[in-house]
Structure 1
């Protein structure tokens, strides 16, 4: 597997990456989710699962090939991190 971005957790089968993002309020959470939607449309890569509340968003990325996490998966995670840092 490619180097896992800081803050992300590798999980079970199928292989996934998981991270919880915390925000100061709903406006920040919504801005992050809107930016994530735009990134997904731009790249054609979509998180396997997203759930959120007022001040958090949980994001799960599944291995693109369903077998093992690769550089494309971890690069997408890094791009999501950049969105969260840009809030």
Structure 2
């Protein structure tokens, strides 16, 4: 699986998972991200196993339900990334 566009995520094992910390300038941005991330996860059918946040950060862990991450898990991570990337970067191949 090509993960080159997920450079901000860290992949771990036991279970197979992806982790990323997102940092924001204000609580309003954090809240908007959380709401948008929930919509992305609902659309992908993925429930992150761990989401914790403070005023200006969100930590997200997407864990495999089986032995390895599913295509839906990878797609959710890509879509979550797109929530914080500038539009010009998000549309580049």
Same fold (TM over 0.5): yes
- Quote how far apart the aligned CAs of 1:74 are: 1.8
Moved more, 3-12 or 54-63: 3-12
**Unpaired stretches in structure 1, ≥5 consecutive residues:** none
Cα distance in 1 for partners of 2:71, 2:39 equals 21
Trace 1:34-73 onto structure 2 (pairs within 5 A). 34-63=35-64, 65-73=65-73
How many residues matched? 84
- Quote how far apart the aligned CAs of 1:70 are: 4.1
Cα distance in 1 for partners of 2:39, 2:75 equals 16
Name the TM-score, length of structure 1 as normaliser. Answer: 0.85
Indicate the RMSD between aligned Cα atoms, in angstroms.
Answer: 1.5
Question: Residue 17 and residue 66 in structure 1: after superposition, are their counterparts in 2 closer, same or farther (change >3 A)?
Answer: same
- Quote how far apart the aligned CAs of 1:83 are: 1.2
Name the TM-score, length of structure 2 as normaliser. Answer: 0.80
